[in-house]
Chains A and B, each alone.
Chain A
Amino acid sequence: NAGVTQTPKFRILKIGQSMTLQCAQDMNHNYMYWYRQDPGMGLKLIYYSVGAGITDKGEVPNGYNVSRSTTEDFPLRLELAAPSQTSVYFCASSYGSSYNSPLHFGNGTRLTVT
């Protein structure tokens, strides 16, 4: 199993550009999550999904959109990039929602907006 795969690893965007961060998991997990991590800080939840076709906002959803058309994929869309979105983005998945379902994380996408 590859686990959780994120692409690209790095990206530089100009202000106002848009892009999609890709996330795929091959563990047949129902739950998927997008976090951002600013330098020296913990992780903040952007959006999450409990299954194909179902998404919901996390703590910091403004400026982002998501979709979940398949169990495997959970892309994150930035429509009008802003410098405040410079961050490292992590995608994660879990089998269920209970305490016995640990999160599995990808290795992140480092995004710079200038």
Chain B
Amino acid sequence: DAKTTQPNSMESNEEEPVHLPCNHSTISGTDYIHWYRQLPSQGPEYVIHGLTSNVNNRMASLAIAEDRKSSTLILHRATLRDAAVYYCILRGIIQGAQKLVFGQGTRLTINP
């Protein structure tokens, strides 16, 4: 299965943009890039997903490199509530969720 690599931790300031990187050099053509986040003492929650084009939703934006070997989750204006562990996960078109791999993710700290 294709694997993702994320930094262990990142730090940013409140009200500033945050760019969370993810490397997935062995991604296949049918793998979607999914992001989840886990707030303290809660279960993970879905953030966003994409295949090739950049994607936006109310929570974040996802920028995908042209060769798809890396992607970046963008929080446009971080708040203290965005402090969480962010997971970058690859998912095939018909791949069941039982195949998903939640690694250690990136722990994001937001400074007031």
Residues of A within 8 A of B (CB): 4, 31, 33, 35, 40-45, 48, 50, 56, 58, 90, 92, 94, 97-99, 101-108
- Interface residue B104 (Cβ < 8 Å from any Cβ of A): yes
> Which residues of the partner chain A approach B46 to less than 8 Å between Cβ atoms?
102-104
We find that the number of chain B residues with CB closer than 8 angstroms to chain A is 25
Residues of B within 8 A of A (CB): 32, 34, 36, 41-46, 49, 87, 91-98, 100-105
**Do B87 and A42 touch (CB < 8 A)?**
yes
24 contacting pairs across A/B (C-beta < 8 A):
A4-B43, A31-B97, A42-B102, A42-B104, A43-B102, A56-B98, A90-B43, A90-B44, A92-B44, A92-B97, A94-B97, A97-B97, A99-B49, A99-B93, A99-B95, A102-B49, A103-B36, A103-B97, A103-B100, A105-B42, A105-B43, A105-B44, A105-B45, A107-B41
Could you tell me the dominant secondary structure of chain B's interface residues?
A: loop
**Do B43 and A107 touch (CB < 8 A)?**
yes
Sorted nearest first, the 3 A-B pairs with minimum C-beta distance are A105-B43, A102-B46, A43-B102
